Chain A
């Protein structure tokens, strides 16, 4: 098929309906099997959870403005940080990128009509709802105060709603497993002709690696939750030392899942960044193979390092040394990715669009978050830093500075594709800037006070830490304002934004070959699989106010990397 014909098909006529308008009413959404609608429903759900847990965070930060008590009692404080952590981790971050954005983009990027098991996909969404429901039950009944880690023996003894929360975790775990299972099968069996493994966008490699972790690690969380419930309900005695159980075993169980879960959070974020950097710098991604393999490597290595959460928990010396040594190995594939992104930016035509602003923030913040992980993986320093604000700052730099920022970047990148509207670019950039500044003001002081010994999870503190806590609180407010602006920009675009073209950014991946928003079956024509990072044959067209494919310039441009001729 000639490019001209493809172009005619792409932009010659607008399709009459898209996935948002092709059927109407609540039931058409709640019973939909369309991956795009499920993705949007997930998006709304996880944003709700994020707002809830974010409000908890703000309340905690304001309480910490002074060393003594302002308005939160100690027990309320404990419950609030527990719910902040547990909801953020289990209800928001883990499903955020794979289930919300991934559900929307994975089949379209792949050139498939849907995920392999659409019903399972919907079931996974309802499981997510069910799990969230149990979290809310545990919140309003007798709010959990164990910390998001549910460590025994306290979680067996406390009178708070551990069972409801554990049920929630159990159900959310299966939601996550089914999403991962669906993605693996989709990528393996649903690729259209011409879409080979190494023509897949890096986002798909990242989601695939994530899915491997979801399927392999999450069941261990499920059994942990189940045993903990049995422990509380019938007094099983496997983790409870009062009945001859072994509480360190619980931590092994918990972290066998929860360390790989950290990579469930960050890997898809890395995938998003690989897309954003290449598209918004209009430059072929540097070291495609290395980024792809490093995703798989991170997924596999993530299973070898869980013990570094237990250096001070009574774990034995030999195992501590083994885990400490293995922990450093994860730094290698992570660094490979960062170097490749930076190399991609080099001499690229960087456009400071909102997604790119988030991508640049990500590189900076993830760099800090990753490097501060090294002192925590080092035995000698970790003994000092363990359970201080240093740890809190470290994982917020990775989870918020990494995952949340990438999530927002991806959201701004695919928003025109999702809803067919362009947002206000200036507003988006301001939001990104405020988020970046606010984030650093919040968490950088925590590194300092953590290294000076401020322990985490304390409601009260010595006055010497007050200046850092106050900075942190101010930063959190700035961060909140930035997020509000970002949300405002996105929501107003739905009403006031101009219509988005099929390809607003000049991306070469398949989701930008279909119109915005896509039709029910994603593509109105057979997809043409090209190099996902070759921007030489795409250029801006005034008429459609977006990018369109052009005939590649003859001879020299197409010579270096002749693609196999697979016109379908």
Chain B
């Protein structure tokens, strides 16, 4: 550690009268706290603190990885049967979106280190747009599964006739719609009242939130979303009947609502399940005299398929919560960057939020092959 400056700068001030730290600016700048001696000490402390927080995050997620690995090892057939409901193209798209947001985040750190304020703002806004795109894609993935009854273990109703379901996508999009509208209106308001700073801030926020709808649009427009994947996974029988599904993006919405195609899927899925189950049961409960076995076992199979989705939802859900937390942290950064707080010897917050953001990316880098690329 570099030799510190004498403490007296503050010490003298204390003997005067006031203990309010904000009255006495630190020699290294307004954002250096009184109990640090140099800006570098504060930076090192903040960074070490963030690393420790990331250590904590890794251990936090490690519990989920344990659950995943144990379930996958002991029930590989369930994972193979269930993963066909995940669309690796949407997952891959989201991976690219997050990787790109990592790039812009790293770039934002570079910009704030070099005091390139405009560059920092642009990069942070791009990062937030990417985060919202990610959530938009995720919303499509989630709601599509819910409409098919692909819930976690206790609510798993796939293959059973789905009644009227609530408008999941509307519910899940509501906060984003509100945020976008409010940001836009505030931006307009501050434009009118000529409050330049807040106009810029809310304009950036509105742009960021609109990324969510971009995500929805991309996921809708993806040519192979959901159904094509079903086709390939269901093998030859189904493949011939499939082209209709591949034809265009607009069909998807109808598919989900008119019920008929998904029933078809369900039937297929059933056939497959039953086949797998028969083999399984044959191995393990050869002499089981239980009369109602087949119905019991069939239900058990479905519950266990839900087991996969339990893990899927808890892992991706917690990851999505981290993305939302990241958006909040980035909003804070956006405010501070616009207010020109950062300088050559004070850019710790950007760097630390960046570290957090990269960790969120890092977790997704593992989640993607673990969830979407199973064979």
Known: A189-B44, A521-B10. A118 touches B70 (CB 8 A): no
Known: A113-B34, A237-B154. A521 touches B11 (CB 8 A): yes
Contact with B along A196-227 (1 / 0, CB 8 A): 00000000000000000001111110111011
Residue A190, interface by CB 8 Å: yes
Residues on the B chain within 8 Å of A240, using CB: 153
Residue B241, interface by CB 8 Å: no
Residues on the A chain within 8 Å of B306, using CB: 237, 243-244
Which residue on chain B has the smallest CB distance to residue A234?
B152
Most chain A beta carbons < 10 A, residue from B6, B41, B55:
B55
CA distance A188 to B1 in the complex (A): 10
Residue B280, interface by CB 8 Å: no
Known: A224-B63, A521-B10. A219 touches B57 (CB 8 A): yes
Asked whether, in the complex, the Cβ of A234 is within 8 Å of the Cβ of B19, the reply is no
Residue B3, interface by CB 8 Å: yes
CA distance A181 to B352 in the complex (A): 15
Residue B64, interface by CB 8 Å: yes
Asked whether, in the complex, the Cβ of B70 is within 8 Å of the Cβ of A249, the reply is yes
Contact with A along B253-265 (1 / 0, CB 8 A): 0000000000000
Asked whether, in the complex, the Cβ of A181 is within 8 Å of the Cβ of B49, the reply is yes
Known: A216-B55, A520-B19. A235 touches B6 (CB 8 A): no
Residue A86, interface by CB 8 Å: no
Q: How many residues of B contact A (CB 8 A)?
A: 47
Residue B294, interface by CB 8 Å: no
| Residues 54-70 of B at the A interface (beta carbon under 8 Å) | 55-57, 59-64, 66-67, 70
Known: A219-B56, A234-B155, A246-B70. A117 touches B49 (CB 8 A): yes
Asked whether, in the complex, the Cβ of B52 is within 8 Å of the Cβ of A184, the reply is yes
Residues on the B chain within 8 Å of A545, using CB: none
Residue A112, interface by CB 8 Å: yes
CA distance A555 to B117 in the complex (A): 62
Known: A23-B19, A113-B35, A243-B306. A215 touches B63 (CB 8 A): no
Which residue on chain A has the smallest CB distance to residue B304?
A244
B249 CB to nearest A CB, Å: 31
Asked whether, in the complex, the Cβ of A520 is within 8 Å of the Cβ of B14, the reply is yes
Residues on the B chain within 8 Å of A234, using CB: 152, 154-155
B90 CB to nearest A CB, Å: 23
Known: A219-B60, A237-B303, A246-B70. A114 touches B35 (CB 8 A): yes
Q: Specify which of B1, B55, B152 is in contact with A189 (CB 8 Å cutoff).
A: B1
CA distance A217 to B60 in the complex (A): 9
Residue A40, interface by CB 8 Å: no
Residue A80, interface by CB 8 Å: no
Q: Specify which of B49, B59, B67, B70 is in contact with A216 (CB 8 Å cutoff).
A: B59
Residue B48, interface by CB 8 Å: yes
B200 CB to nearest A CB, Å: 27
Q: Specify which of A120, A189, A223 is in contact with B64 (CB 8 Å cutoff).
A: A223
| Residues 1-21 of B at the A interface (beta carbon under 8 Å) | 1, 3-4, 6-7, 10-11, 14, 19
Asked whether, in the complex, the Cβ of B153 is within 8 Å of the Cβ of A243, the reply is yes
Which residue on chain A has the smallest CB distance to residue B7?
A526
Asked whether, in the complex, the Cβ of B56 is within 8 Å of the Cβ of A236, the reply is no
B185 CB to nearest A CB, Å: 32
Residues on the B chain within 8 Å of A474, using CB: none
CA distance A524 to B153 in the complex (A): 62
Known: A181-B53, A526-B7. A235 touches B153 (CB 8 A): yes
Residue B195, interface by CB 8 Å: no
Residue A540, interface by CB 8 Å: no
Residue B300, interface by CB 8 Å: yes
Known: A253-B66, A520-B19. A117 touches B307 (CB 8 A): no
B307 CB to nearest A CB, Å: 5
Which residue on chain B has the smallest CB distance to residue A174?
B56
Known: A181-B49, A189-B44. A244 touches B153 (CB 8 A): yes
Residue B331, interface by CB 8 Å: no
A200 CB to nearest B CB, Å: 15
The number of residue pairs between A and B whose CB atoms lie closer than 8 Å in the complex comes to 130
Asked whether, in the complex, the Cβ of A184 is within 8 Å of the Cβ of B48, the reply is yes
B336 CB to nearest A CB, Å: 16
A192 CB to nearest B CB, Å: 8
A226 CB to nearest B CB, Å: 8
B197 CB to nearest A CB, Å: 25
Which residue on chain B has the smallest CB distance to residue A182?
B49
Residue B310, interface by CB 8 Å: yes
Residue B314, interface by CB 8 Å: yes
CA distance A237 to B75 in the complex (A): 14
Which residue on chain A has the smallest CB distance to residue B8?
A526
Asked whether, in the complex, the Cβ of B152 is within 8 Å of the Cβ of A237, the reply is yes
Contact with B along A91-114 (1 / 0, CB 8 A): 000000000000000000000111
Residues on the A chain within 8 Å of B55, using CB: 215-216
Known: A193-B4, A215-B56. A238 touches B310 (CB 8 A): yes
Q: Specify which of A22, A177, A526, A568 is in contact with B56 (CB 8 Å cutoff).
A: A177
Residue B359, interface by CB 8 Å: no
CA distance A23 to B61 in the complex (A): 43
Residues on the B chain within 8 Å of A113, using CB: 7, 34-35
CA distance A235 to B156 in the complex (A): 10
CA distance A215 to B50 in the complex (A): 12
Which residue on chain B has the smallest CB distance to residue A519?
B14
Residues on the A chain within 8 Å of B14, using CB: 519-521
Residue B311, interface by CB 8 Å: yes
Contact with A along B208-229 (1 / 0, CB 8 A): 0000000000000000000000
Known: A244-B300, A524-B11. A220 touches B62 (CB 8 A): yes
Residue B251, interface by CB 8 Å: no
Asked whether, in the complex, the Cβ of B154 is within 8 Å of the Cβ of A112, the reply is no
Q: Specify which of A112, A117, A186, A253 is in contact with B63 (CB 8 Å cutoff).
A: A253
Which residue on chain A has the smallest CB distance to residue B307?
A244
Asked whether, in the complex, the Cβ of A526 is within 8 Å of the Cβ of B3, the reply is no
CA distance A244 to B48 in the complex (A): 41
Known: A117-B45, A520-B14. A22 touches B35 (CB 8 A): no
Asked whether, in the complex, the Cβ of A237 is within 8 Å of the Cβ of B63, the reply is no
Asked whether, in the complex, the Cβ of A237 is within 8 Å of the Cβ of B307, the reply is yes
Residues on the A chain within 8 Å of B314, using CB: 227, 230, 236, 238
Asked whether, in the complex, the Cβ of B70 is within 8 Å of the Cβ of A185, the reply is no
Which residue on chain A has the smallest CB distance to residue B57?
A219
Known: A189-B41, A220-B63. A243 touches B35 (CB 8 A): no
Residue A245, interface by CB 8 Å: yes
Residues on the A chain within 8 Å of B44, using CB: 189
A242 CB to nearest B CB, Å: 9
Most chain A beta carbons < 10 A, residue from B4, B6, B14, B62:
B14
CA distance A27 to B205 in the complex (A): 34
Residue A64, interface by CB 8 Å: no
Asked whether, in the complex, the Cβ of B307 is within 8 Å of the Cβ of A245, the reply is yes
Residues on the B chain within 8 Å of A525, using CB: 11
Asked whether, in the complex, the Cβ of B6 is within 8 Å of the Cβ of A526, the reply is yes
Asked whether, in the complex, the Cβ of B303 is within 8 Å of the Cβ of A243, the reply is yes
Residues on the A chain within 8 Å of B33, using CB: 118
Asked whether, in the complex, the Cβ of B153 is within 8 Å of the Cβ of A189, the reply is no
Residue A116, interface by CB 8 Å: yes
| Residues 225-263 of A at the B interface (beta carbon under 8 Å) | 226-227, 230, 234-238, 240, 243-246, 249, 252-253
Asked whether, in the complex, the Cβ of A244 is within 8 Å of the Cβ of B303, the reply is yes
Asked whether, in the complex, the Cβ of A223 is within 8 Å of the Cβ of B63, the reply is yes
Asked whether, in the complex, the Cβ of B4 is within 8 Å of the Cβ of A227, the reply is no
CA distance A453 to B53 in the complex (A): 45
Most chain A beta carbons < 10 A, residue from B36, B53, B59, B304:
B59
A106 CB to nearest B CB, Å: 13
- Given A219-B56, A219-B60, A223-B64, 15 other A-B residues pairs in contact with their CB atoms under 8 A: A116-B35, A185-B52, A193-B3, A216-B59, A220-B59, A227-B63, A227-B67, A230-B314, A237-B306, A238-B307, A243-B153, A243-B303, A244-B304, A521-B10, A526-B7
Jot down 8 A-B pairs with beta carbons below 8 A, ordered by A.
Answer: A117-B49, A189-B45, A215-B52, A219-B56, A222-B60, A226-B318, A236-B153, A238-B314
The 5 closest A-B CB pairs, nearest first, are A235-B154, A237-B153, A223-B63, A219-B60, A243-B153
